[in-house]
Chain A
Amino acid sequence: DSGVTQTPKHLITATGQRVTLRCSPRSGDLSVYWYQQSLDQGLQFLIQYYNGEERAKGNILERFSAQQFPDLHSELNLSSLELGDSALYFCASSVDVMGKGTEAFFGQGTRLTVV
């Protein structure tokens, strides 16, 4: 158990809908990262937050948004869903902004299926 909690584990929804994925980081971790992993694809970096503020943005679609709350949990909002958004969405957390020798710990992921 990495200590990072993601809910829900599975989500099935229809095209055009909106969903919210939730992540609780490890106790004491200030940074939260979101990644998307499609079938047989690598981890695509979406966005990173540090202590409530956005720190880095990757290939995140305009239909997607995220935030980190004062209690440090984070939510990833996906709207106007398309079939191609079906993927595993991972959240990871680390003690601080990386580059100081601290690894990111990953949650078990949310498997999103858009039908």
Chain B
Amino acid sequence: GQNIDQPTEMTATEGAIVQINCTYQTSGFNGLFWYQQHAGEAPTFLSYNVLDGLEEKGRFSSFLSRSKGYSYLLLKELQMKDSASYLCAVYDSGAGSYQLTFGKGTKLSVIP
């Protein structure tokens, strides 16, 4: 099975940097995804990590350590529109079939 933990809520200031952590336990890790979801809307893809290290994409970066079961999403130069939930999701083949499991999400509030 899978167990994915991330903080429930975070608050950060416009223009600042925020790091959202995610820890996971899986029996057959096959990649980690980060999604952004505004309230009542569909999740949208942000990043994908399958190997250890940092993936950078503009203002967003994601890091993975497979040995530690740990990832983080780094958001730089925060903007008000970044206020949303950020979902960590793990692709796991431990059950004999591939399954994309999401954490409960971290609700980020960006304040002026």
Contact = CB atoms under 8 A, between A and B. Distances in A.
Interface string A85-115: 0001010000001110101111111000000
Contacts of A16: none
B43 interface: yes
Given A56-B99, A99-B31, A42 B105 contact: yes
Contact of B45 (A33, A99, A105): A105
Interface residues of B, number: 25
Contact of A48 (B42, B87, B99): B99
B104 interface: yes
Interface string B77-112: 000000000010101010101111111110000000
Judged by DSSP, the binding face of A is: loop
Contacts of B43: 43, 90, 106
Interface of B: 30-31, 33, 40-45, 48, 50, 87, 89, 91, 93, 95, 97-105
Given A98-B31, A104-B100, 11 more contacts: A33-B100, A43-B87, A45-B100, A45-B101, A56-B97, A56-B99, A88-B40, A90-B43, A99-B91, A104-B33, A106-B43
